């Protein structure tokens, strides 16, 4: 193993990064699966495609936003977030820098990225929970932070990689155990606000599925059955008229539709009838209204899901999404307002989500490679 002070991540073409093939789970005893019942990800270990042309105004907007995030990071690696401690915002902020091609430990943002990564790692509890907030935010935070750690895994030094090994082992175990909780048939296979919840929702489920997929990208053994059960829940959440609802039988909305499409696409269910109907729903209901329900959440999921669908969905909707975002950016580099809970979520949350949406064409985040 290389000395941590001399290790540097290996780049692929464009700004994608090669993930290490060996995922040495220090706590591997926590997760034991039978051979042949796992998902691994050789595809995302290959070189990422070259970055496509990105308009200068988009580059400038993202760079201004990232400069603001650096200037407003707290000494412990956090950002202001509605007056409460959270691992969500540091995790989303780290991913927004990665999405622009910045790497922990290198360049003008290298050390600040490690501050936030260290904060998330230090927040993990003995049961594996990557969350600083109890209650309804718990599994959201856990899934988002697990995704972030899986994204930085191939970019960090050896010391941090060892820490992330341990954290992901415990994190994945918690996700899998939470899925096994006895639930009524409509909710089986999904996740909810807490690990012991007896129901499920699409939003929490989407983050846990992406977390499992991200851990698999790092070489973790993830049972195919767990992913299949999660996908079954996503399919049950498809609305009859197109799009996806919060729970089976629920009405579709924009953020849930983006979540449902992305979960299916990232887990190998490409261009299914449910996903294409979701794309048609987004054409009819583009995520361009900043006063819309969970707007910043919607642009994050919809930008990635449109990228996966490609074709008319990407070409019709994504340019509108970008123009709407650029029109809202404030002189300091932040994004304002939002409705409902997002209004109180803080500038760093909204700015990170906006950057993640704008940075899709950079093709830098391993999890979302097509």
Residue 32 has pLDDT above 60, yes or no: no
CA distances from 80 to 77, 348, 350 (A): 10, 7, 12
Q: Which two tokens stand for residue 90?
A: 């540091």
Q: Which helix (H) or strand (E) holds 245?
A: strand 244-245
* pLDDT per residue as tens digits for the range 51-81: 467 999 999 999 999 999 999 999 999 998 7
- As a whole number of angstroms, the distance between CA 219 and CA 360 comes to 24
Q: Quick one: pLDDT at residue 84?
A: 67
Q: What percent of the chain has pLDDT over 90?
A: 77
Q: Quick one: pLDDT at residue 83?
A: 63
In the block, residue with structure tokens 């927004």: 96
Chain centre distance of CA 213:
10
Look at residues 51, 141, 63 and name the one whose alpha carbon lies nearest to residue 333.
63
Cβ atoms 152, 214 nearer than 8 A: no
Predicted TM-score (pTM) of the model is 0.88
In the block, residue with structure tokens 């009819």: 284
Could you write out the DSSP letters of every residue in 243-283? Answer: SEESSTTPPEEHHHHHHHHHHHHHTT-TT-HHHHHHHHHHH
* pLDDT per residue as tens digits for the range 159-172: 999 999 999 999 99
């Amino acid at each position: 193993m290389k000395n941590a002070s001399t290790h540097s991540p290996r780049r692929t073409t464009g700004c994608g990064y090669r993930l290490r093939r060996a995922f040495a789970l220090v706590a591997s005893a926590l997760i034991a699966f039978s051979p042949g019942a796992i998902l691994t990800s050789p595809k995302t270990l290959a070189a990422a495609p070259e970055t496509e042309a990105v308009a200068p105004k988009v580059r400038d907007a993202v760079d201004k936003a990232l400069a603001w995030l650096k200037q407003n990071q707290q000494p412990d690696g956090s950002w202001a977030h509605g007056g409460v401690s959270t691992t969500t915002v540091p995790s989303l902020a780290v991913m927004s820098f990665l999405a622009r091609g910045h790497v922990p430990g290198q360049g003008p943002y290298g050390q600040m990225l490690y501050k936030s990564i260290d904060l998330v790692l230090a927040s993990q509890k003995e049961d594996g929970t990557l969350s600083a907030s109890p209650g309804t935010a718990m599994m959201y935070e856990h899934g988002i932070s697990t995704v972030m750690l899986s994204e930085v895994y191939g970019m960090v030094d050896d010391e941090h990689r060892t820490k992330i090994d341990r954290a992901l082992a415990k994190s994945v175990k918690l996700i899998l155990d939470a899925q096994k909780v006895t639930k009524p048939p409509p909710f089986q296979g999904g996740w909810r606000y807490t690990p012991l919840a007896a129901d499920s929702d699409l939003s929490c489920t989407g983050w846990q599925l992406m977390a499992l997929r991200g851990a698999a990208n790092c070489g973790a053994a993830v049972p195919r059955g767990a992913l299949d059960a999660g996908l079954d829940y996503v399919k049950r959440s498809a609305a009859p008229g197109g799009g996806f609802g919060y729970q089976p039988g629920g009405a579709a909305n924009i953020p849930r539709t983006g979540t449902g499409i992305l979960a299916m696409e990232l887990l190998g269910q490409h261009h299914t009838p449910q996903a294409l109907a979701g794309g048609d729903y987004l054409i009819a209901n583009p995520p361009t209204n900043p006063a819309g329900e969970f707007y910043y959440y919607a642009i994050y999921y919809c930008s990635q899901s449109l990228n996966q669908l490609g074709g008319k969905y990407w070409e019709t909707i994504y340019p509108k999404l970008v123009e709407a975002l650029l029109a809202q950016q404030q002189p300091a580099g932040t994004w304002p307002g939002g409705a409902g809970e997002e209004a109180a979520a803080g500038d760093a949350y909204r700015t990170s989500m906006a950057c993640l949406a704008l940075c899709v064409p950079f093709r830098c985040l391993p999890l979302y490679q097509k």
